[in-house]
Amino acid sequence: MANLNEKVKKVIELLKKEYSHPKVVLDYKNPMELLVATILSAQCTDVRVNKITPGLFKRYKTVKDFAYANLKELEMEIKSTGFYRNKSKNIINSAKKILSDFNGRVPDSMEKLLTLPGVARKTANIVLHNAFGKIEGIAVDTHVKRLSKLIGLTKNDNPNKIEIDLMDITEKKNWPLINYLLVLHGRKICIARKPNHLACVINKCCDFYQRQKW
């Protein structure tokens, strides 16, 4: 590839053909549900999160319900997602802050979302785009971090620096898309422990693949 802009464009083009309807796979009906689901998805699969959220959202229907949830009960309800103690505290405290500072409505700006406990740029980007249709950055989760380094789109390890690198070389309209595509590809083909190189449609664009002696 002549440059990284061309490389990321080709990666997106090839992956779009492979995954025809890329989108966030978390199940939600409103901004608060998406915020909670995204907090739960940290260090946990979306499949696991989607298994517990139907019951969770049936019990906790509003921001106020989460704000006044019993901590121990919430911990047990989300235990299977891992790191449940921190996640429970963050969900409850975020809901309380939304009530006190944002009139009970999940904020729709990066600056305000980042004031919520447990919310970093990844979570904020997912909520902003999917709940409010706003594009302010690129959500960098474990899949995006791993694949962007393997492909050669960044040399950084810090998610915030990776986000900046990807934003610099990717058209803004594709910022949400590159997250969805790399997540799907990371789950299906570029699996951390056993990547399927031969089935990978972007192997000719991938620095890691090109360095191997096949």
**Residues involved in catalysis:** 122, 141
Q: Roughly how many angstroms between the first and final C-alpha of the chain, as a whole number?
A: 21
Of 142, 141, 152, 149, whose CA–CA distance to 7 is shortest? 152
> Is the distance from CB of 177 to CB of 185 less than 8 angstroms?
no
CA–CA gap between residue 96 and residue 88 (Å, rounded): 12
141-173 core/surface letters (b: 16 or more CB in 10 A; e: else): bebbbebbbbbbbbebeebeebbebbeebbeee
Residue 177 DSSP one-character state: H
| DSSP, residue by residue, 138-163 | ----HHHHHHHHHHTS----SHHHHH
